[in-house]
Structure 1
Amino acid sequence: MAAREFAVMFVCTGNICRSPLAEQLLTAGMRANLQNDVVVTSAGLQTIDGVPMDPLSAQQSVLYGGDPSNAISHKVDRESSLRQDLILTMTRKHQTDIVSRYPNLLKRTFLLREFAEIVEVLHTDSEADTRVNERRRRIVVQAAMMRGQLTRGSIDFDIIDPYRKSVEVHATVGESIHRATSTLAELFR
């Protein structure tokens, strides 16, 4: 019997800028590492299904190797949220919203930049593990335990919403998301 795939969902407000960009960049990073056993999705907390990706965010996706060609918005729902091994939000408000809707997701829900910073200091098993998805799930558990130790204080992990903002804001957001998803792609190898 095959092991269950590792599921990651990125969440933002409208699912047309930040979360689809993160989905596409992590997918591209996993593909570059020849990893096809991570299911990466994205959704929005305040959206309707079927809205196309913002063109400036799509440009950032292409710039960093993503594929925005079929990106349309999806609304966060209970069923898909509860299937996730890891939920990565763009702001603390998104994280709070997800956890208030689905309290049992507390230990699996992080801000994207927060999680990337935590896992950079984790000592993970680098040797080949035949149960790689179980190793990935252990990383999420370890990160939840370390969350309070590493992220207290005035660190702001929010990634601002670039919707209807300048090309420069989109570029800053794109770079931030690219940096964080590159860390995750390397970690989840």
Structure 2
Amino acid sequence: MTLLHPVRILTVCTGNICRSPVAERLLQAGLDQVLPGGFEVRSAGTRAMVGNPIQPLSADIIRRYGGTPDDFSSRQLNQNILRESDLVLTMASNHRGEVLQLDPSMLKRTFTIREFARMVTALEARGNASPSDTDFAQLWRELPARASSVRHLVLAAQASDNDVADPYKQGAEAYLRMEDELAPAILRILRHARLSLAS
């Protein structure tokens, strides 16, 4: 199966050199295994360090999970980038707020990545599958609305449970914490992609 118009996912953090590049590259690597050419994952920063490469410790995490950190250049988030996106996954709640300040129309397509991972897991638990005659791309373009319908079932115990900690200018331990918070969310989303293709 090949898609004429790949599903476009945008990951967002602050500087676009630590968290969102990890999410971008690992989601892209995993989704390429699910459906080659089916997804286009990119990232941007709300206060991007424009033109900078991925931070070395983030690059190490990407390699460890089978992605590539090469040929990356940080870019500033803007309204045009948002409007090209079918789904926006932010690294923290404040980034979601900044996305919506830029473009309020993105409200129903923007989530923190940890919250979204809980939502798709809740959809699976409810057996809330799309009709079998819905094509894969359309299924994913409708996924944000379907995920929103179960938001009330997966509310975080505390607000920080929606966020991925920022490791910038900190040591290896901070990057490990970022990995511990981010990797499970990415794996849940990739599992959902595999299940949705099989349905």
Same fold by TM-score greater than 0.5: yes
| Aligned partner of 1:142 among 129, 132, 146 | 146
Return the letter of the residue paired with 2:185.
Answer: A
Match of 1:119 in 2: 120
Any idea what SS the aligned residue of 1:161 has?
Answer: coil
Cα gap change, 1:153 to 1:66, in 2 (>3 Å):
same
Mapped partners of 1:186, 1:36: distance in 2: 17
| Aligned partner of 2:188 among 174, 183, 187 | 183
Give the count of matched residue pairs.
188
Match of 2:155 in 1: 151
Per mean C-alpha deviation after superposition, the further-off stretch among 149-158 and 15-24 is 149-158
RMSD (Å), alpha carbons: 1.9
Higher relative contact order (CA 8 A, sep 6+): 1
2:2 pairs with 1:4: no
2:162 pairs with 1:165: no
Mapped partners of 1:31, 1:138: distance in 2: 20
Mapped partners of 1:36, 1:177: distance in 2: 24
Mapped partners of 1:152, 1:173: distance in 2: 18
Any idea what SS the aligned residue of 1:40 has?
Answer: strand
Per mean C-alpha deviation after superposition, the further-off stretch among 120-129 and 59-68 is 120-129
Question: What stretches of structure 1 of length at least 5 have no aligned partner?
Answer: none
Contact 1:129/1:135 (CA < 8 Å) preserved in 2? Answer: no
Q: Identical aligned pairs, as a percentage?
A: 34
Mapped partners of 1:128, 1:73: distance in 2: 39
Match of 1:85 in 2: 86
Match of 2:197 in 1: none
Mapped partners of 1:152, 1:26: distance in 2: 23
The two structures have a TM-score, normalised by structure 2, of 0.87
Return the letter of the residue paired with 2:152.
Answer: G
Per mean C-alpha deviation after superposition, the further-off stretch among 108-117 and 73-82 is 73-82
Per mean C-alpha deviation after superposition, the further-off stretch among 56-65 and 28-37 is 28-37
Return the letter of the residue paired with 1:59.
Answer: D
Once the two structures are TM-superposed, the CA of residue 38 in structure 1 deviates from its matched residue by: 0.7
Contact 2:17/2:53 (CA < 8 Å) preserved in 1? Answer: yes
The two structures have a TM-score, normalised by structure 1, of 0.91
Per mean C-alpha deviation after superposition, the further-off stretch among 89-98 and 43-52 is 43-52
Any idea what SS the aligned residue of 2:24 has?
Answer: helix
Contact 2:115/2:154 (CA < 8 Å) preserved in 1? Answer: no
Mapped partners of 1:63, 1:152: distance in 2: 29
